[in-house]
């Protein structure tokens, strides 16, 4: 395992400053468009998340390289309340007009953000990621470009006595322009495996939600092992205003 060096992208700094100004206590954050959640039956070690893995494919490039703060397609785990997010991430525009894979950790109590170094990937590339609880009360998380096997693994110690019982799959970052989202209008997570207290959960009981939807974004539970996010990158600002005003 490696511990990548700390770096903050300008775009993510902007997003984090915006979030801090809202004085939010936990997730879901105002930057989330849509998500799926699997809750533990209890907030105890009987429901603790011991492992999550998933695969997904890098979507098409946006028709506009600008107009959104690093659209993110990721999954992660959190305690209850959801205030310490461990998240393997695929994002567009984090460090330029490209897709990158990296690991992230956001701690709500002090609004701190950490992210690893990154792997450049391209539309159509198969990628995967995971988180796993270790015996020393920390989590390893990883992202991987499957074609090359290039992987980044990061270790995050558990803060305090938190017990991670929430699993989230998320479509994140409110765009100014819907054209700043990938033009194929979907990302599908597949081969999802959730393990609690050392045992694979046959049905994680995903709860779909649209939190702060934009661009007609939506969550579909395809199966216990697959979650799909969709949006409409052809939407204009007028379309968005019409929805907000109740005209459509």
For the chain, domain boundaries = 10-244
Tens of pLDDT, residue by residue over 217-240, are 999 999 999 999 999 999 886 666
User: What pLDDT was estimated at residue 23?
Assistant: 45
Tens of pLDDT, residue by residue over 130-169, are 999 999 999 999 999 999 999 999 999 999 999 999 999 9
Tens of pLDDT, residue by residue over 82-131, are 999 999 999 999 988 999 999 999 999 999 999 999 999 999 999 999 99
The answer to whether 162 and 84 have CB atoms below 8 angstroms apart is yes
DSSP structure string for 20-86 = HHTT--SSSPTTEEEEEEEE-SSSSGGG-EEEEEEEEE--PPBSSS-SBS--EEEEEEE-SS--EEE
User: What pLDDT was estimated at residue 74?
Assistant: 99
Fold of 10-244: Jelly Rolls (2.60.120)
Which one is predicted more confidently, 41 or 204?
204
- Which tokens hold the place of 110? 């002090």
Three-state SS for 212-244 is CCCCCCEEEEEECCEEEEECCCCCCHHHHHHHH
pLDDT at 48 over 60: yes
User: What pLDDT was estimated at residue 180?
Assistant: 94
pLDDT at 79 over 70: yes
User: What pLDDT was estimated at residue 144?
Assistant: 99
What's the rounded Cα separation, in Å, for the pair 164 and 214? Answer: 29
User: What pLDDT was estimated at residue 26?
Assistant: 84
User: What pLDDT was estimated at residue 246?
Assistant: 57
| pTM of structure | 0.87
Q: Just list the catalytic residues.
A: 172
Q: Is 87 helix (H, G, I), strand (E, B) or coil?
A: strand
């Amino acid at each position: 395992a490696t511990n990548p060096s700390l770096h903050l992208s300008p775009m993510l700094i902007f997003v984090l400053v915006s979030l801090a100004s809202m004085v939010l206590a936990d997730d879901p954050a105002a930057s989330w468009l849509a998500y799926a959640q699997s809750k533990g039956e209890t907030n105890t070690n009987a429901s603790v998340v011991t492992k999550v893995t998933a695969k997904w494919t890098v979507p098409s490039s946006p028709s506009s390289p600008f107009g959104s703060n690093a659209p993110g397609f990721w999954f992660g785990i959190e305690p209850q309340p959801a205030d310490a997010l461990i998240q393997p991430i695929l994002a567009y525009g984090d460090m330029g007009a490209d897709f990158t894979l990296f690991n992230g950790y956001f701690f709500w109590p002090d609004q701190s953000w950490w992210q690893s170094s990154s792997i450049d990937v391209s539309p159509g590339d198969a990628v995967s990621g995971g988180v796993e609880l270790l015996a020393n009360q920390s989590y390893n998380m990883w992202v991987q470009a499957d074609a090359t096997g290039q992987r980044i693994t990061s270790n995050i110690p558990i803060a305090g006595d938190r017990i991670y019982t929430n699993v989230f799959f998320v479509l994140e970052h409110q765009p100014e322009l819907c054209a700043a989202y990938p033009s194929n209008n979907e990302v599908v997570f597949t081969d999802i495996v959730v393990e609690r207290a050392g045992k694979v959960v046959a049905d994680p009981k995903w709860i779909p939600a649209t939190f702060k939807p934009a661009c007609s974004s939506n969550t579909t539970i395809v199966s216990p092992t697959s979650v799909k996010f969709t949006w409409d990158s052809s939407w204009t600002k007028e379309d968005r205003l019409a929805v907000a005003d109740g005209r459509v």
